[in-house]
Structure 1
Amino acid sequence: MLSEYVEEIETLGLYGFYVIIFLLIGLSIQDVLKRSNVPTFGRAIVWLVLFLGCAGFVSKGIIEVFWESNGLG
């Protein structure tokens, strides 16, 4: 039974790995911003860029799922 779902388990593991990597990147950026006394505007720009990168990655995954379910991929 487990061999039937190997591809799905691998996909979930990969997405979990990406979530952990994004979390660690966010924590390291937060630490660097605190230690270097970055102004509020600079912090907002950094977090905006990080959020847009994550949002782009998530939207890419959602688009791939829709395309594959419609037979386009």
Structure 2
Amino acid sequence: MLAQYMQQIETIGLNFFFAAIFFFIGMAIHDVLKQGKVPKFGQYIVWLVLFLGCAGFIAKGIIQVTWETSGIG
């Protein structure tokens, strides 16, 4: 039974791995911004860029799943 779902397990594991990587990147950026005493406007720009990167990754995953279920990809 496990062999039947191996691809799904790998996909879910990879998604959790990328979520953890984004979390750790966010924590590192938060630490650097606090220690560097970056102004609020600069912090907002940095967090916006990080959020857009995460949103792009999530959108890519949604598009990929949609295409694969409809037979395009």
Could you tell me which runs of 5 or more consecutive residues in structure 1 were left unpaired when the two chains were aligned.
none
Instruction: Return the TM-score normalized by structure 2.
Output: 0.98
- Alignment partner, residue 66 of structure 1: 66
1:13 matched to which residue of 2?
Answer: 13
Give the unaligned 5+ runs of structure 2. Answer: none
Read off the aligned partner of 1:5 and give its amino acid letter: Y
Tell me which amino acid in the other structure corresponds to 2:21.
I
In the alignment of these two chains, the number of paired residues is 73
- Superposed CA RMSD: 0.5
Question: Partners in 2 of 1:29 and 1:72 — Cα distance?
Answer: 38
Over residues 2-26 of structure 1, what are the superposed CA-to-partner deviations in whole Å (9 max), with x where a residue is unaligned? 1111111111110010000000000
Tell me the TM-score normalised to structure 1 length. Answer: 0.98
Percent identity at matched positions?
60
Once residues 72 and 5 of structure 2 are traced to their aligned partners in structure 1, the CA distance between those partners, rounded to angstroms, is 23
Deviation track 1:5-53 (CA, whole Å, cap 9, x = no partner) reads 1111111110010000000000000000000000000000000000000
Instruction: Give 4+ residue runs of structure 1 displaced > 6 Å after superposition.
Output: none
